[in-house]
A and B are shown apart, each in its own frame.
Chain A
Amino acid sequence: MKGVYDLTIVRLKLLVRNRSAIFFSIIFPILFLFVYGFLFAKGDSEKVRFLMGPVVVLTILGSGFWGVGFQIVFFREKNILRRFRPAPVGAGPLLISGILANWLLQIFVVSLEFLIARWIFHIPWPLQPLELFIIATLGLFAFAGIGMVIASIANTMQETQVLCNLLWFAFMFLSGATAPLAQLPEVIRHIALFLPSFYLVYAMQAIMFGGASLSAMLPEMTALAMTTVAAYLLGLKLFRWDQHMKLSWSAKAWAVPAVIPFLALGVWANLFSHRIDQALVLYGHVWPH
């Protein structure tokens, strides 16, 4: 465990020292907060409060993909993982430390976003900060896990970029994280139920507006937790120390288990839940027809 602690601290320092990581992890999400706040919400505090869900999800999504996933591939391509290979530290501590360092940094960034939103747009303090913290944490872990899955199956930086961008666009634009669900066609709303970003946006908004308890979010929390565990196990299974260790196409099929939790949740939500209606009701509170 000491190895995990030391690795986490070093990786956090590395993130903070990296200008590009600072821009994309801290400045970029805060810029989005201003864009959402001034452009979409026109400075209205209730609307900004509603849009904090998408802003936080954008923060979490970007950090998971680029802060965790992309960094693993970068370390592999630069022969940095090779340096760690002879030491008695396995792939587990290297993966866990990446997730933890990202979590520490992003919890700070999300808190900063709430502080700025409070200061600039005068949103009320969240009444259930603990619930928000838990959902944000589960989201950070799950999206870091998805980033790890991408890193595990991608053989090169270019491949990673393509996969990250494809998923990022799908998660952002088909889930209500950018255009609200109410403005999306019916078919897209049903597709959104298969996307983790939808549930994260919904959970944040349900807690902030509807005062939803964690027990009401149990299916979402379970799916996020299961995605984290599946992605971590997959990351361990497919971990490669060396850029020359390429993954065959057949081995990439190992990524399937990481998709199963949200596939199952999507089927359940489409058949038995009223998540779309609930999300539309929340939207209707802020943007009445």
Chain B
Amino acid sequence: MPGEPIVEVRDLRKNYAALEAVRGLSFEIERGEVFGLLGPNGAGKTTTIEILEGLRSRDGGKVVVCGFDPGLHARQLKEKIGIQLQQTALPDKITVEEALNLFRSFYQRSLRTEQLLEWFGLQEKRKTHYDLLSGGQQQRLALALAVVNDPEMVMFDEPTAGLDPQTRREIYSLIGRLRDERRTVLLTTHYIEEAEQLCDRVAIVDRGKIIASGTPRGLIEQSRQCSRIEFIPRSPVDLTRLHALDCAEDVTPSDGGYRIRSREAPRTLMALMRMLIAENNEVIQVHLERPSLEDVFIELTGRSLRD
């Protein structure tokens, strides 16, 4: 039913001996939504997603995925969802086609092999052994195996961790296609751009707790973080005049130019242009940088995501 959450998590808890890995996590995911759990390593993202996948038990809380409690009906749930775990491999001498056919045989319902080969651009590699595939092709095959059962929902744990930028972009495009098909996607990541580019909504997780959630844009707008305008003029500019610009918070000289922090970057930029024209000055270079989720994370935790 539209509007009905496909994932419901209430007060989820998981301990490893004395360590509280997940401390009362609650969130919902709507059907067709791409939802991201964003946080640094050790934040509890993998534990959370593995509990949702039915691969790990929980110590407390309520979890419903596709109408099933993963702790009780893991097998039925696996028929409905696609999963890609971190750091998996296949035997060296299995071909792409054999791997797809093998995984298809595990499910009651599956997509055709041809369809999967075409979708993930692996037609020409169908007879190639796994050890002869490039890193990107291996990752594409891993994604194909994750959706082999035509899942309602796909869960990715750090889908691009350790990949080169080009392969990462390929994976973004494939996940984007899942979104276009209105499949629900849950992914964990510690890459800001991944969350910003792919996710409809994100939950920022730190030390086993959600510290903020919403759309990436919403989170950025709610934050007190400023945009940064960096520019290099032809002639020097009076710093006090820059301070007086509309919505300018802070001005510092930077690499032969100036950096202005602004709460309303478009207004500050317009005012800056008007001022430079009035002074018969010119802009050689200008760069506008909006606050990112990283800034939001730092604001909320005082630490960087990669710390």
Contact = CB atoms under 8 A, between A and B. Distances in A.
Interface of A: 2-3, 5-7, 10, 13-14, 17-18, 75, 78-80, 82-83, 85-89
A87 B78 contact: yes
Contacts of B82: 86
Nearest to A21: B93
A22 B87 CA distance: 29
B90 A80 contact: yes
Interface string B83-96: 11101111101100
A82 B105 contact: no
Given A6-B101, A10-B102, A13-B98, A82 B107 contact: no
A79 B88 contact: yes
A221 to B, nearest CB: 33
A86 B83 contact: yes
B91 A80 contact: yes
Contact of A88 (B85, B106, B142): B106
Contacts of A85: 55, 85
Given A5-B105, A85-B85, 15 more contacts: A2-B105, A13-B98, A14-B91, A14-B93, A78-B89, A79-B89, A80-B88, A80-B90, A82-B89, A83-B89, A86-B53, A86-B78, A88-B78, A88-B79, A89-B106
B91 A86 contact: no
What DSSP secondary structure best describes chain B's contact surface?
mixed
Interface residues of B, number: 27
5 contacts: A14-B94, A79-B88, A80-B89, A80-B91, A87-B103
B145 interface: yes
B64 to A, nearest CB: 19
Interface of B: 53, 55, 75, 78-79, 82-85, 87-91, 93-94, 98, 101-103, 105-107, 129, 142, 145-146
Contacts of B94: 10, 13-14
What DSSP secondary structure best describes chain A's contact surface?
helix
Contacts of B75: 88
A271 to B, nearest CB: 47
Contacts of A7: 102
Which residue, of A2, A75, A78, A86, has the highest number of chain B Cβ atoms within 10 A?
A: A86
A124 B116 CA distance: 54
B106 A18 contact: no
Which residue, of B83, B102, B129, B146, has the highest number of chain A Cβ atoms within 10 A?
A: B102
A78 B92 CA distance: 10
Contact of B106 (A14, A78, A82, A87): A87
A82 B85 contact: yes
A80 B91 CA distance: 7
A83 to B, nearest CB: 4
A86 B102 contact: no
A78 B138 CA distance: 14
B91 A6 contact: no
B68 to A, nearest CB: 12
Contacts of A80: 88-91
Contacts of A88: 75, 78-79, 106-107
Top 3 A-B pairs ranked by shortest CB distance?
A86-B83, A83-B88, A6-B105
Contact of B91 (A5, A75, A82, A87): A75
A261 B74 CA distance: 35
Given A14-B94, A88-B78, A79 B105 contact: no
Contact of A3 (B90, B105, B142): B105
B87 A79 contact: yes
A3 B93 contact: no
A87 to B, nearest CB: 4
Nearest to A241: B55
A75 B89 CA distance: 9
B163 to A, nearest CB: 16
